[in-house]
Copies of this chain bind each other. A is one copy, B any other.
Amino acid sequence: MEAALPPEWKVERWLNTLAPLSLASLRGKVIFAVAFQMLCPGCVSEGLPQALRARAAFPESELAVIGLHTVFEHHEAQGTEAALAAFLHEYRIGFPVGIDLRRPDGAIPQTMRAYGMRGTPTTLLYDRAGRLRLHQFGHLDDMRLGAVIATLIGEAGAAEDMAPEPERAGAGCTPGGSCG
């Protein structure tokens, strides 16, 4: 029996890519996705630089790196495409970034809610078969992350059922909490 696949990303608009992306369209590659907010200090100082290092360390043919702009606070400051585009330009972030779909009734956007993310930054790793293999809020060690990505790249496409690693404590921004 096969494990259920994780929910598709719900994105209202993509930047840094001509065509919209999806888990389905990236099937066959390992996927590194970082959920962030442009005004989240831990995303700026740690989460996004790590995503750029992952982009530099692995070939695009094996690893897709994408960002999800999961705005759950300061919508007026972070919520426009223009603000995000300016941020990506200044911080030289060239990988595709999707704007998580805002829900009419409230703060937490749809992909963030569907995955039960605790805050930003959150790192998601998917294997070649589209299964979620790591879901981490906050800090991730570079060496362990490199090891996990390489292990997923080394797996055959139709690998065995595996559950994602349990989430460990980390520092970042949480809805209704502070950015610690």
Taking CB atoms, residues of chain B closer than 8 Å to A90 are 39-41, 74, 173, 179
How far, in whole Å, are A143 and B50 apart by their CA atoms in the complex?
A: 9
Contact A80 B77 (CB under 8 A): yes
Instruction: Name the one of B80, B91, B143 contacting A53, with C-beta atoms under 8 angstroms.
Output: B143
- Please tell me if A159 contacts chain B, counting CB pairs below 8 Å: no
Instruction: Name the one of B39, B57, B151, B173 contacting A150, with C-beta atoms under 8 angstroms.
Output: B151
Given A82-B76, A86-B77, A151-B150, do A91 and B41 touch, yes or no (CB 8 Å)? yes
Instruction: Name the one of B57, B143, B154 contacting A54, with C-beta atoms under 8 angstroms.
Output: B143
- Please tell me if A141 contacts chain B, counting CB pairs below 8 Å: yes
- Please tell me if A83 contacts chain B, counting CB pairs below 8 Å: yes
Q: Which of A20-79 contact B (CB under 8 A)?
A: 39-41, 44-45, 53-54, 57-58, 73-74, 76-78
Contact B86 A78 (CB under 8 A): yes
- Please tell me if A144 contacts chain B, counting CB pairs below 8 Å: yes
Taking CB atoms, residues of chain B closer than 8 Å to A97 are none
- Please tell me if A145 contacts chain B, counting CB pairs below 8 Å: yes
Interface string of A71-109 (1 = CB under 8 A from B): 001101110101111110111000000000000000000
Instruction: Give the shortest distance, in Å, between A44 (CB) and chain B (any CB).
Output: 6
Taking CB atoms, residues of chain B closer than 8 Å to A82 are 74, 76-77
Q: Which of A146-180 contact B (CB under 8 A)?
A: 146-151, 154, 173, 179
Contact A86 B76 (CB under 8 A): yes
- Please tell me if A142 contacts chain B, counting CB pairs below 8 Å: yes
